[in-house]
Amino acid sequence: MFAEILVAALLVISGVFALVGSYGLIKLPDLMTRLHAPTKASTLGVGGALIASMLHAIVWRNEVSWHELLITLFLFLTAPITANFIAKAHMADKLKSGDLPPTGTDRDWATLDLSEEPVQPVMTPPGQPGRPS
């Protein structure tokens, strides 16, 4: 009985997360805010459904569902990386360097430097521009 309630609760919670993530993807105003909806809420929605499926397989069939485990791991690893790449591409395409906080290095945000010399971060003291006090 407890396992059935847990599986049902995971499915309902994952459905709510997926619904909120889908709604946010449609209603949020710009790309950078809209990016959070599928990477956060929808990931938890799909992840919750997969975890419920794994729990169902363990309790009722007495076997570990490796497929769902691998899909969950793949989803939780790739969604943040994909969001990072989309955000960096948006920053490089739509924003100017003056619109962004300083990086602490000679490079700008979302750029690739093919020079041979390494770039060391420059620490700015508290209260300086680009660093909170």
Where in the chain are the domains?
Answer: 2-94, 102-133
pLDDT (tens, 9 = 90+) of the chain, 133 residues, equals 899 999 999 999 999 998 988 888 888 888 888 888 878 887 888 889 999 999 999 999 998 888 888 998 898 888 888 888 888 888 778 877 677 777 777 776 655 555 666 666 666 666 666 555 4
Residue 93 CA: distances (Å) to CA of 6, 96, 103, 109, 128: 45, 9, 17, 11, 28
Q: Report the pLDDT value the prediction gives residue 6, as an integer from 0 to 100.
A: 94
List all residues 6 or more positions away from 35 whose beta carbon is below 8 Å from its beta carbon: 83, 86, 87
CA distance 106 to 120: 9
CB 51 within 8 A of CB 70: no
Inter-residue contact 108 to 97 (CB < 8 Å): yes
Neighbouring CB atoms inside 10 A of 68's CB total 19
pLDDT of residue 4: 92
Give the pLDDT confidence of 35-58 residue by residue, as tens digits: 888 788 878 888 899 999 999 999
- Please report, for residues 72, 104, 114, the alpha-carbon distance to residue 121 in angstroms, rounded to integers and kept in the order given: 36, 5, 17
